[in-house]
């Protein structure tokens, strides 16, 4: 329970990777602030399970982020994880989708970081963990907004890591390959349409084709790495972009 007494905000933690990270940090004693959307009864179950509070702030909205951060109070561990995907050729990419993806997958992290850092600096301890993606390192066609935002968050991670390097704070990115979550499941129909493939072909020939292990990453794998990054032994892991992608970006 080495995180007892630490408060962790995990954005996009009502589902998928964020929920697994919240569970892993909670198991080590952290006080959890959840964020994300979902049916009220499911969120109530999660807040009870994790003895957590919850913010339903829409992170595409900077004003809502400011309100969430003010309500949450000082944050020791900030996990910028909320994200969404849209799959379409760039010349058909809906402009509103581009703006939303950049706002959620990139700008939201800028806002939470700028608002959380003063408290971390005052305490001389902090952890910022950004869920990036294999798409922060390499591209795939039809994911222009997502790939641009994820390359952006990789750069933001490195920049802030340098700025806080002597403050007891580390800033790192975790870059998963394909993790079986609603985000991946929901992109299958658009990928079928964009590439003219069946569901099975998308899973095996598009998604798992990228991963030399030929298996999906588990959300719990990401939770375990987030816990490690919070340990004192990880104090010199700073500005890293840690791949958990079955070897995808090794090729
Ligand atoms: P998910 O769809 O299961 O969860 C997304 C979470 O973000 C949910 O809690 C949702 O409510 C929340 N969210 C969505 N829009 C929001 C908004 N406007 N404001 C606040 N919260 C919002 O997705 P996931 O697969 O768990 O993805 C989590 C992160 O991991 C994302 O940043 C994603 O890009 C990244 N990622 C996922 C994969 C994968 O294969 N699943 C791979 C690499 C990176």
Residues in the chain: 251
Catalytic residue IDs: 146
Do 25 and 140 belong together in one domain?
yes
For residue 1, is it within any domain?
no
User: Does the structure show a pLDDT above 90 at 145?
Assistant: yes
pTM: 0.97
For residue 2, is it within any domain?
no
Do 212 and 224 belong together in one domain?
no
> What are the pLDDT digits (tens) for 177-207?
999 998 888 889 988 998 999 999 999 998 8
Q: Which two tokens stand for residue 93?
A: 């990419």
Do 82 and 17 belong together in one domain?
yes
Buried b (16+ CB within 10 A) or exposed e, 112-141: bbebbbebbeeeebbbbbbbbbbbbbbeee
For residue 68, is it within any domain?
yes
Token pair 């920049």 is at which residue?
159
Task: Give the whole-number percent of the chain exceeding pLDDT 90.
Answer: 94
pLDDT band at 238 (very low <50, low <70, confident <90, very high): very high
Do 17 and 45 belong together in one domain?
yes
Do 73 and 146 belong together in one domain?
yes
For residue 118, is it within any domain?
yes
48 Cα to the center of ligand 1, angstroms? 21
Mutation test residue for ligand 1: of 15, 54, 147, 148, the one with most atoms within 8 Å of CB: 15
Do 222 and 212 belong together in one domain?
no
What is the domain range of residue 35?
Answer: 7-179+218-244
For residue 250, is it within any domain?
no
Do 67 and 174 belong together in one domain?
yes
Q: What is the CATH number of the domain that holds 43?
A: 3.40.50.720
Q: Which atom of ligand 1 is nearest to the CA of 17?
A: 26
Q: Which atom of ligand 1 is nearest to the CA of 14?
A: 9
pLDDT score of 23: 98
Long-range contacts of 27-32 (CB under 8 A, 24+ apart): 27/227, 28/1, 28/2, 28/3, 28/4, 28/227, 28/230, 29/1, 29/2, 29/3, 29/4, 29/5, 30/3, 30/4, 30/6, 30/76, 30/77, 30/230, 31/5, 31/6, 31/7, 32/8
Do 41 and 85 belong together in one domain?
yes
For residue 132, is it within any domain?
yes
pLDDT band at 135 (very low <50, low <70, confident <90, very high): very high
Residues in contact with ligand 1 by the CB-under-6-Å rule are 12-18, 35-38, 58-60, 81-84, 104-105, 131, 133, 176, 178-179, 181-184
CB 14 within 8 A of CB 181: no
Sheet holding 7-10, edge to edge: 53-55, 31-35, 7-10, 77-80, 126-131, 169-176, 241-244
Q: Which two tokens stand for residue 95?
A: 């402009």
13 Cα to the center of ligand 1, angstroms? 8
Do 185 and 158 belong together in one domain?
no
Average pLDDT of the chain, as a whole number: 97
> What are the pLDDT digits (tens) for 61-75?
999 999 999 999 999
pLDDT score of 202: 93
CB 32 within 8 A of CB 10: yes
Mutation test residue for ligand 1: of 59, 80, 83, 148, the one with most atoms within 8 Å of CB: 83
Mutation test residue for ligand 1: of 16, 64, 130, 206, the one with most atoms within 8 Å of CB: 16
Sign of the four-CA dihedral 122, 24, 157, 62: negative
Do 52 and 142 belong together in one domain?
yes
């Amino acid at each position: 329970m080495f995180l007892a007494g630490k408060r962790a905000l995990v954005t996009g933690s009502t589902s998928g990777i964020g929920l697994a990270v919240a569970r892993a940090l909670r198991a080590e004693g952290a006080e959890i602030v959840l964020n994300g959307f979902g049916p009220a009864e499911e969120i109530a179950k999660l807040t009870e399970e994790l003895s957590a509070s919850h913010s339903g702030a829409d992170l595409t909205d900077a004003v809502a982020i400011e309100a969430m951060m003010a309500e949450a109070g000082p944050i020791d561990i900030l996990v910028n994880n909320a994200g969404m995907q849209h799959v379409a050729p760039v010349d058909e990419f809906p402009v509103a989708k581009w703006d939303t993806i950049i706002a959620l997958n990139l700008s939201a992290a800028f806002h939470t970081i700028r608002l959380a850092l003063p408290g971390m600096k005052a305490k001389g301890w902090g952890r910022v963990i950004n869920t990036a993606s294999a798409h922060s390192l390499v591209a795939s066609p039809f994911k222009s907004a997502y790939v641009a935002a994820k390359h952006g968050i990789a750069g933001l991670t490195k920049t802030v890591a340098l700025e806080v390097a002597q403050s007891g704070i580390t800033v790192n990115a975790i870059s998963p390959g394909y993790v079986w979550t609603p985000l991946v499941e929901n992109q299958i129909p658009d990928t079928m349409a964009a590439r003219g493939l069946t569901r099975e072909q998308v899973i095996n020939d598009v998604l798992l084709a990228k991963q030399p292990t030929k298996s999906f990453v588990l959300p719990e794998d990401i939770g375990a790495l987030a816990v490690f990054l919070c340990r004192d032994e990880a104090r010199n892991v700073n500005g890293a972009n840690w791949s958990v992608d079955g070897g995808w970006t090794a090729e």
